[in-house]
Amino acid sequence: MTPKNDLVAPVVNRRNLAEQSARFCFLFCALLAFASLVIIIAFLLIKGLPAIGKIGLWNFLTDTDWNPSNNQFGILSMITATLLSSLGALLISVVIGVLTAVFLAELATAKIARWLRFAIELLAGIPSVVFGFFGLVIIVPFIDRVAGGGGNSLLAAIIILSMMILPTIVSISEMSLRAVPREYKEGSLALGASQIQTIFRVLLPAAGSGVAAAIMLGLGRAIGETMAVILVSGNSPIMPGSLFDRVRTMTANIALEMGYASGLQQEALFATGVVLFVFIMLINGAVTVLAARSGVKR
Amino acid sequence: MKRTKLSEQLLYLAIYGSAALSCTAMIAIIGYIVFKGAPSIDWTFLSSPYKGSQHGIYPMIVTTLYMIGLSLAVAAPIGVCSAIYLNEYAKDGKLVRLIRFATDSLSGIPSIIYGLFGYMFFVTVLQLKMSILSGALTLAIMVLPLVIRTTEEALKTVPAGYREGSLALGASKITTILRIVLPSAAEGIITSIILSIGRIVGETAAVYLTAGMVTRVPGGILDSGRTLAVHLYVLAKEGISFEQAYASATVLLVIIAGLNLLANRLATGIRKKTT
Amino acid sequence: MKKTIYLILAIVLIIGSTMTFAGCGSSAKNLALVGSTSVQPLAQELADAYEKANPGVKIDVQGVGSTAGVNAAHDKTADIGMSSRDLTAEEKQWKMQEIVLALDGISVVINPENQTTDLSVEQIRKIFKGEITNWNQVGGKDAPILVVSREAGSGTRTAFEELTKVAVKKDGKDVSLLKADALVADGNGSIQANVAAKDNAIGYMSMGMVDKAVKAIKVDGVQPTVANVVAKQYSLSRPFLLLINGEAGEPAKAFMKFASSPEGKKIIGEHYIAVE
């Protein structure tokens, strides 16, 4: 991955003080990233673990009641809300995103592809609070009019999240489609398969782990999203029974109550952060494995 | 045969439809917000303070600039140096894998976790209070992985021959890096910085817990301030004025679009150069 | 392309160096007021007046929540804490100096389209506990009630639940019995925005911040007005507190003094109730 320096290494005077200190300086910077990660994890654990100890891990994870004033700290409803909203969003955006990636990689002319890619990059750049605001003024009132109940709902969160993770899924899927060796496609076409058959039977399966990496990355973004969700989801800490129920995600729980919390409630919020973090690290791990397998750069 | 044809037609339709839908999603959001926001943007809106009867966003723009400058002042040198280490010095080994694992993990952490951390560490433990400094340091950690990765990509595009030539002429390794490698990778590094600016400008969750939301032009980096994105969040959640919210969102979108366009052009420039 | 790059580099450098200079001249003597979002607008008005009277002094007002305000004053991340509820027994033990800045009513607000004009405290309690779920149970049209509440820990919520007995005492602590599926909105403005946008919603918010977008109803037949709060006719009212830690510096004490001076009381009296 590096233009190999071994070739030239002997030329370098190893005893040169300036060289050594520069090298040390660069190494130090590189280690700072690692140090940051360690500090973040340490702080989360220091602040979060005592609460888990006091509440009990099992109660914390499986209790559905969140009522800090009564010392009830169960986040099952929020874990459920987080997973449902993220998976719902994935369902929508994977279909649309992967097909868009197919369009970009296989069907579009260079000019159209460039414009569409730019549009999608722009979509990726839109701040999450703008998405949330859009959801608040357009999607929430729309759901309220159609289904009643106020409109702040799981469904609103799903729609907003699916828009937000679309760019991730499109760009990574496209990259992995392009990484499929040309011979696969040419071989398939030469054997008389149609373009559609080639795409769905040969290219997509070959790009499978890259697309899977895209899906996991999208999942990570959806699970971690805060500001957009807070504005549209209604934030009631209850188990969602339908798409139109108000839900509170783990991220929303942290952002909503952090300013007000003290004592055990604050620790419980950090503990929520720990659970969220564990989810994210699992997903990150999956991404790393899948990306390495498909040769896609994140 | 006919049936395959039909299903193929349907699949084509699905593909084109999806592409159109992706495009529409973007146009719908940007179009709607700009349409609603643009009429209320004028010079007064951009240049007046947010105090009493004045509802300008000048203080938020200044705070956002502070935030960009300060976070980059921290993240850019560290990120570029890390990338130099990873690309120019390190050999694949445990250490590199460790650092790579750290940057990958950092880039996946949700911004609310950064906010939580920043609030605990910079605001409370280091006693920096809610200030631009606390916010910027939090953001610096957040954009660090982005700077490192994009800079690394840029360094990789510098042909090995440049380095070998320079070294063969007797230049030291550090001279080679500073005089030859970095200038050749400049556009890529700038792109990484522009992308980071985009993230800093758009960030809310990590900033509002760490930098606060005071609506005054900050007098220094230990003052609290409200960035444009936080301002939009407060306007939206407090329901103070949707007109102002649309206008602020429009300003935010214009900035982001401008940055994207710039990054895009630079990236095209790089691609042209290397191919 | 080169030009753009140099331009950007220049901008980044300029910003960077401005930062450095700005950093050196940083005003560490800024007074930080942190706490209740309900107190924030009043504190901001007082701060503006105080800054005008004392050039050179700068005051930062952060609305993050009552509990955060009490904590910030306690651990000295803020010079002055703001709270829109009384201190809890635990917080009282920290022995902070507190002044009652003002009294504020809590208005129960509904959508202007809603014809209901009057609810008893008991009806309000039942609505927020989920025992009354339809407007026709309180004399309105047949429509489900959408309860909008603040987040746990909010001073306004704590005070509201205590006053309407939506919260009950258990082991010396107030335990909230708010119905679980209430829409949770953070901030007075958010309550107002939600109630204004949803026909069947009911919420509660600081009296001083209510505007025409929502309708404040009578409670037990009493209109929520400054006069009625002063006369102790209107039952839903709570104090706004300013808190300082014992070792707070002179500037903080001077501001506290200003807030309770006649001049400060005049500002308070515009929307809230100054305390003698």
Instruction: Check residue A249 and give its pLDDT.
Output: 92
Q: How high is the ipTM of this complex?
A: 0.85
Decide if A243 contacts A91 (C-beta within 8 A): no
Instruction: Quick: pLDDT tens for B4-38.
Output: 678 888 888 999 999 998 888 888 888 998 998 88
CB pair distance less than 8 Å for A129 and B32: no
CB pair distance less than 8 Å for C184 and A235: yes
Query: Which string of DSSP letters, residue by residue, matches chain C?
Result: -HHHHHHHHHHHHHHHHHHHHHHHT--TT-EEEEE-TTTHHHHHHHHHHHHHHSTT--EEEEE--HHHHHHHHHTTSSSEEEESSPPPHHHHTT--EEEEEEEEEEEEEE-TT----EE-HHHHHHHHHTS--BGGGGTS-S-B-EEEEPPTT-HHHHHHHHHHTSEEEETTEEEE---TTPEE-SSHHHHHHHHHH-TTEEEEEEGGG--TTSEEPEETTB---HHHHHTT-S--EEEEEEEE-TT--HHHHHHHHHHTSHHHHHHHHHHSEE--
Q: In 3-state terms, what secondary structure has residue B50?
A: strand
Note which residues in 217-246 of chain B have CB less than 8 A from chain C.
218-224, 237-240
Of the pLDDT bands very low, low, confident and very high (cuts 50, 70, 90), residue C24 is very low
Query: Mutate which of B16, B18, B230, B271 to test chain A, going by most A C-beta atoms within 10 A?
Result: B18
Mean pLDDT check: name the lowest of A108-117, A136-145, A257-266: A257-266
B chain contacts of residue A1, beta-carbon cutoff 8 Å? 92, 156
Strand-pair category, C97-110 with C215-216 = antiparallel
B62 inside 8 A of chain C by CB: no
Neighbours of chain B (3+ CB pairs under 8 A): A, C
Closest-CA residue of chain B to C63? B213
Q: In 3-state terms, what secondary structure has residue A109?
A: coil
Instruction: Quick: pLDDT tens for C82-127.
Output: 998 888 888 888 888 888 888 888 999 999 988 888 899 999 999 9
Of the pLDDT bands very low, low, confident and very high (cuts 50, 70, 90), residue C25 is very low
Instruction: Check residue B1 and give its pLDDT.
Output: 45
Is pLDDT above 50 for C148? yes
Mean pLDDT value of segment A59-78:
85
Size of interface A-B (CB pairs under 8 A): 269
Closest-CA residue of chain B to C68? B209
Note which residues in 73-92 of chain C have CB less than 8 A from chain A.
90
Distance CA B265, CA B254 (A): 16
Distance CA C137, CA C150 (A): 24
Instruction: Check residue B2 and give its pLDDT.
Output: 46
Mean pLDDT value of segment A130-145:
88
- Average pLDDT over chain C reads 82
- From residue A222, alpha-carbon distances to A89, A92, A166, B169, B203 in Å are 8, 12, 10, 52, 15
What is the CATH code for B42-274? Answer: 1.10.3720.10
What residues does each domain of chain B span? 42-274
C151 inside 8 A of chain A by CB: yes
Is pLDDT above 80 for A14? no
Q: Is B134 exposed, middle or buried (0-12, 13-18, 19+ CB in 10 A)?
A: buried
Is pLDDT above 70 for C276? no
| Shortest Cα distance, chain C CAs vs residue B237, angstroms | 5
Is pLDDT above 50 for C27? no
Decide if B237 contacts A229 (C-beta within 8 A): no
- Average pLDDT over chain A reads 85
| Shortest Cα distance, chain B CAs vs residue A214, angstroms | 13
Is pLDDT above 50 for A11? no
B240 inside 8 A of chain A by CB: no
CB pair distance less than 8 Å for B209 and A120: no
C chain contacts of residue B212, beta-carbon cutoff 8 Å? 60, 62, 64
A234 inside 8 A of chain B by CB: no
Decide if B98 contacts C44 (C-beta within 8 A): no
Neighbour tally for B27: CB within 10 Å: 13
C197 inside 8 A of chain A by CB: yes
Distance CA A68, CA A249 (A): 16
Is pLDDT above 80 for C130? yes
Instruction: Check residue C191 and give its pLDDT.
Output: 87
Mean pLDDT value of segment A211-235:
89
Mean pLDDT value of segment A110-119:
87
Instruction: Quick: pLDDT tens for C64-83.
Output: 788 888 888 888 778 899 99
| A200 phi, psi to nearest 5 deg | -85, -25
Is pLDDT above 50 for A211? yes
C chain contacts of residue A73, beta-carbon cutoff 8 Å? none
Instruction: Check residue C23 and give its pLDDT.
Output: 46
Is pLDDT above 90 for A5? no
Mean pLDDT value of segment C126-133:
90
The parts of chain B modelled with pLDDT lower than 50 are 1-2, 275
Instruction: Check residue C103 and give its pLDDT.
Output: 86
Is pLDDT above 60 for C13? no
CB pair distance less than 8 Å for B212 and C192: no
Of the pLDDT bands very low, low, confident and very high (cuts 50, 70, 90), residue C6 is low
List the structure tokens of A57.
């891990």
Is pLDDT above 80 for A129? yes
Is pLDDT above 90 for A90? yes
